[in-house]
Amino acid sequence: MIPEKLKKGDEIRVISPAKSLAVVAPEQQDLAIERLNQAGFNVSFSTYAAESSHFISNPVDHRVADIHEAFSDPNVKAILTTLGGYDSNQLLSHLDFDLIQKNPKIFCGYSDITALTNTIYKKTGLVTYSGPHFSSFGMEKGIHYTFDHFMKVFTETEPQKIYPAFDWSDDRWYLNQQERQFHTNPGYEVLHEGVAEGTSIGGNLCTLNLLQGTPYMPSLEGTILFLEDDLLSDPFTFDRDLQSLIHQPGFEGVRGMIIGRFQKESNMDDDMLIQILKSKKELGHIPIIYNASFGHTTPIFTFPIGGQVRIEAKKQASAIELLEY
């Protein structure tokens, strides 16, 4: 079930299912609103989006109410999350999936929001999206690639190829917008060559793994896995998190894997990643692309959770193509 694409004048609702909008600097909020307005959209905020919290996140019932309100409101055509965090999975058993299924619309975010995007797809069949948060659009520099892919995915229907970004950054841009370091992106790297089509699933690996053994874990059969992790995932943590996913029922049906670029503080380099991937015989038969432009470095592309994708993993010229999204 693919939601309707956005048109000029459509309303985008901002919700905070993890960290609150209160932690985002006012000038960054203003810039994000301005960018979305200039693209032709109207921005609104949920009742509790900016509620200040003394805990990790705001009360569960407030965050759930905002999700239900956004899906119920016929004027809202897309839902953007404020930010990631640590505890979106607290909400899963409280969500009204019948309500969501009867009111399909765009739902987008990444990082901790992986718990929600994959769960909603599993429980309702609604295609959701791993892509920028609302706060991402408060970035002054290095936002073009992110915004361009966001617009393409949410306003177009034709198959589209995702090309690597020209450069990348791992700065804490939200603390200092001016002192940024951008690095030339050499493009996709390939471990195993091959061509595959399948259903796109995944996002943040450690968050996706929180769904294991629950009714919220999507099937891995016939999938192309998109996996990334943040600076807290060092090589040892990524290794065991990936192994845990490999142990899940249906993993033998995975058709391909795309791994997002790691943050510098994770201390994961290409040699270490290759060593980890080659240590797992279950991966030996599938095409694998790594250093793709999504995850916790910037910029990032948007991809569907539950859409159809095609990958060509070739040493000389790899491609990622969104077929149905």
Average pLDDT over residues 41-69: 94
Q: What is the rounded distance in angstroms from the CA atom of residue 296 to the CA atom of residue 263?
A: 7
Answer yes or no: is 154 within a domain: no
CA distances from 136 to 36, 154, 317 (A): 11, 16, 30
Residue pLDDT, tens place only, 235-284: 999 999 999 999 999 999 999 999 999 999 999 999 999 999 999 999 99
Answer yes or no: is 114 within a domain: yes
Host H or E run for residue 272: helix 270-278
CATH of the domain at 242: 3.50.30.60
79 and 43, same domain (yes or no): yes
pLDDT over threshold 90, residue 65? yes
| CA torsion, ordered 274, 280, 282, 286, to nearest 10 deg | 0
Answer yes or no: is 6 within a domain: no
Q: What is the rounded distance in angstroms from the CA atom of residue 173 to the CA atom of residue 150?
A: 19
Answer yes or no: is 200 within a domain: yes
The residues that are catalytic are 111, 228, 296
Q: Which residues of 140-149 are buried (b: 16+ CB within 10 A; e: fewer)?
A: eebbebbbeb
Average pLDDT of the chain, as a whole number: 97
Closest CA to 67 of 33, 28, 136, 18: 18
Greater confidence (303 vs 315) lies with 303
pLDDT over threshold 90, residue 169? yes
How many domains does the structure of the chain reveal?
2
Could you tell me the residue range of the domain that residue 179 belongs to? Answer: 160-324
**pTM of the model as a whole:** 0.96
Average pLDDT over residues 122-131: 98
Q: Which residues of 86-115 are buried (b: 16+ CB within 10 A; e: fewer)?
A: ebbbbbbeebebeebeebbbbbbbbbbbbb
pLDDT over threshold 80, residue 55? no
Q: What is the rounded distance in angstroms from the CA atom of residue 274 to the CA atom of residue 259?
A: 11
Residue-level pLDDT at 247: 98
214 and 84, same domain (yes or no): no
Residue pLDDT, tens place only, 271-288: 999 999 999 999 999 999
Residues 6+ apart with CB under 8 A from 175: none
pLDDT over threshold 80, residue 309? yes
Answer yes or no: is 168 within a domain: yes
CATH of the domain at 88: 3.40.50.10740
Residues 6+ apart with CB under 8 A from 16: 46, 48, 49, 50, 51, 57, 58, 63, 66, 81, 82, 83
What phi and psi, each to the nearest 5 degrees, are found at residue 126?
Answer: -75, 125
At 91, is the secondary structure helix, strand, or coil? helix
Please answer whether residues 80 and 13 qualify as being in contact, where contact means their C-beta atoms are separated by less than 8 angstroms: yes
How much of the chain exceeds pLDDT 70, in percent? 100
Answer yes or no: is 153 within a domain: no
> pLDDT confidence of 54, banded at 50, 70, 90?
confident
Q: Which of 29-43, 47-61, 87-101, 164-178 has the lowest mean pLDDT?
A: 47-61
Answer yes or no: is 152 within a domain: no
What phi and psi, each to the nearest 5 degrees, are found at residue 266?
Answer: -75, -20
Residue-level pLDDT at 316: 84
Residue-level pLDDT at 132: 98
Residue-level pLDDT at 53: 77
